[in-house]
Amino acid sequence: MSATLIDGKDFAATIREKVAGHVRHLHEEHGITPGLAVVLVGEDPASQVYVRNKGAQTKEVGMASFEHRLPAETSEAELLALIDRLNGAPAVHGILVQLPLPDHIDAAKVINAIDPAKDVDGFHISNVGLLATGQKAMVPCTPLGCLMMLRDRLGDLSGLDAVVVGRSNIVGKPMAHLLLGENCTVTVAHSRTRDLAQVCRRADILVAAVGRPQMIPGDWIKPGATVIDVGINRIPAPERGEGKTRLVGDVDFDSAAEVAGAITPVPGGVGPMTIACLLANTVTACCRAHG
Ligand code: GUN
């Protein structure tokens, strides 16, 4: 392997320390404790793990954590009523509704019911519009974490060719807007892109966010490129024993690390940055709420 490893775990720990410092300051100087409310509907196992981790890290940095676990049968009206209460609660500065929601609930309607100033996920249509037009917005946590790692590694991103593989509302689209804001030349590729290999090969910055295990091999990567792998995919790992699994990204790490200049591992790359950025967004929301 010749690429430098971009250590998201380490970077996220640094961000959490900074957040904890801000939280201490807000508490000691202003008597304010930032609060984050996380809402989980149903029993999706992956979501339960995420919500538990979010709650634990929120408390670790000294913020207040409010967890609302609702049964899968919760009606849309009940969920909207809870959002309304949280919007009006002065101790709550950030609201996150864990996705996916059960099919009988309109996720867009719920997200757009969140007060945009408390929308620490940056998914509300107002924040999406603000980001797309280059204005001050709440920025979605995963792409924000990716951008922080890119800036740390590369400094000024102006003029670089960036290829984002994946066009989701959560990662691909906001990532593209953030990179445009950094003056990159941005291409958003997706499942219908013709000759994806050739598109990827022109990237100085390659962000993979498609959710397909090890889809991008080393020979799609420009020598020296910076590769950010957002994918978290669980695949069978019989070499670890019967029934065992392991996590891999959307990039084939071993072959990519021979060509790239720098690359994020999975796990330990983008993943830890997402929650760290959520905590940072909550402090930002708290500071804006108190002028
Ligand atoms: N589900 C998977 N990723 C996310 C995220 O970043 N925010 C929320 N709310 N739900 C998710």
pTM comes to 0.97
Give dist(CA 110, CA 67) in Å, integer: 17
Tell me the CATH number at 247.
Answer: 3.40.50.720
What single-letter DSSP state applies at residue 69?
A: E
- Which of 58, 79, 114, 121 has most ligand 1 atoms within 8 Å of its beta carbon, as the pocket-test mutant? 121
Residue 140 near residue 281 (C-beta atoms within 8 A): no
Per-residue pLDDT of the chain (291 residues; tens, 9 = 90+): 799 999 999 999 999 999 999 999 999 999 999 999 999 999 999 999 999 999 999 999 999 999 999 999 999 999 999 999 999 999 999 999 999 999 999 999 999 999 999 999 999 999 999 999 999 999 999 999 999 999 999 999 999 999 999 999 999 999 999 999 999 999 999 999 999 999 999 999 999 999 999 999 999 999 999 999 999 999 999 999 999 999 999 999 999 999 999 999 999 999 999 999 999 999 999 999 998
φ, ψ dihedrals at 207, nearest 5°? -110, 120
Cα 98 to ligand 1 centroid, rounded to whole Å: 5
- Which of 98, 120, 141 has most ligand 1 atoms within 8 Å of its beta carbon, as the pocket-test mutant? 98
- For residue 49, give the amino acid letter: V
Q: Is residue 26 part of a domain?
A: no
Q: Measure Cα distances from 93 to 105, 145, 273 in Å.
A: 24, 20, 20
Domain identity same for 258 and 156 = yes
Q: What is the pLDDT of residue 1?
A: 79
Q: How many domains does the chain have?
A: 2
Q: What is the pLDDT of residue 291?
A: 83
Q: Is residue 71 part of a domain?
A: yes
Mark the binding-site residues, compressed into ranges: 166-168, 232
Stretch (H or E) spanning 33: none
Q: Measure Cα distances from 116 to 136, 137, 282, 288 in Å.
A: 12, 9, 12, 12
Domain identity same for 230 and 110 = no
Cα 105 to ligand 1 centroid, rounded to whole Å: 16
- Which ranges constitute the DSSP H helices of the chain? 8-30, 45-60, 76-88, 107-111, 125-132, 141-154, 172-181, 196-201, 253-256, 270-289
The residue whose CA has the least distance to atom 9 of ligand 1 is 98
Give dist(CA 61, CA 45) in Å, integer: 25
Domain identity same for 62 and 174 = no
Tell me the CATH number at 50.
Answer: 3.40.50.10860
Q: What is the dihedral of CA 106, 112, 113, 119, to 10 degrees?
A: 120
Q: Is residue 91 part of a domain?
A: yes
- Which of 96, 273, 282 has most ligand 1 atoms within 8 Å of its beta carbon, as the pocket-test mutant? 96
Closest ligand 1 atom to the C-alpha of 141?
A: 6
Q: What is the pLDDT of residue 14?
A: 98
Domain identity same for 175 and 238 = yes
Closest ligand 1 atom to the C-alpha of 47?
A: 1
Cα 2 to ligand 1 centroid, rounded to whole Å: 33
CA 58 to chain centre: 16
Cα 96 to ligand 1 centroid, rounded to whole Å: 8
Give dist(CA 141, CA 180) in Å, integer: 17
The residue whose CA has the least distance to atom 4 of ligand 1 is 99
In terms of residue numbers, what domain contains 261? Answer: 141-272
The residue whose CA has the least distance to atom 11 of ligand 1 is 99
Domain identity same for 157 and 199 = yes
Domain identity same for 91 and 146 = no
Q: Is residue 227 part of a domain?
A: yes
Q: Is residue 235 part of a domain?
A: yes
Angle between helices 172-181 and 125-132 (to 10 degrees): 30
The residue whose CA has the least distance to atom 2 of ligand 1 is 99
List residues with catalytic annotation: 54, 98, 121
- Residues forming beta bridges with residue 64, ordered by sequence position: 35
CA torsion sign for 87, 89, 95, 100 is negative
Tell me which residue of 176, 182, 224, 189 sits closest to 204, measured CA to CA.
224
Q: What is the dihedral of CA 282, 54, 40, 141, to 10 degrees?
A: 50
Give dist(CA 146, CA 230) in Å, integer: 8
Q: Is residue 77 part of a domain?
A: yes
Cα 168 to ligand 1 centroid, rounded to whole Å: 12
